[in-house]
Amino acid sequence: MGKSLITFNVGETVSIRCVRCGRNFTKRLSDLGLFDGALVTILKNDSFGPIILKVLGSKIALGRGEAEKIYGETK
């Protein structure tokens, strides 16, 4: 399953492995490019505030609670 996105460091590229949330939120994430197998780069991950990711050439921000439900592995 991997580790939660909030545990990765800035600059790491992560392959999404699992999204553990409801169907509507999973669809929203998929629409943003966050689906099983997608590659994302961590751009900002402070101990507070949102986590910012680079996904398919775009930057997206997720709340820490949302990011905590997304699991991945480094590439």
Written as one string, the DSSP assignment of the chain is --EEGGGSPTT-EEEEEEE-S-HHHHHHHHHTT-STT-EEEEEE--SSS-EEEEETTEEEEE-HHHHTTEEEEE-
> Of the ranges 21-30, 36-45, 50-59, which one carries the lowest mean pLDDT score?
21-30
Q: Once rounded to an integer, what is the mean pLDDT over residues 32-58?
A: 94
Check which CATH number belongs to the domain holding 46 and give it: 2.30.30.90
Interior/surface letters 53-72, b for 16+ CB within 10 angstroms, e for the rest: bebeeeebebebebbbbbbb
For 17-33, how does the pLDDT look when each residue is reduced to its tens digit (9 = 90+)?
A: 888 777 888 888 899 99
Q: Which of 32-36, 42-46, 53-57 has the lowest mean pLDDT?
A: 32-36
Number of domains in the chain: 1
**Structure pTM?**
0.89
**Residue 3 pLDDT > 80:** yes
Owning domain of residue 36: 3-74
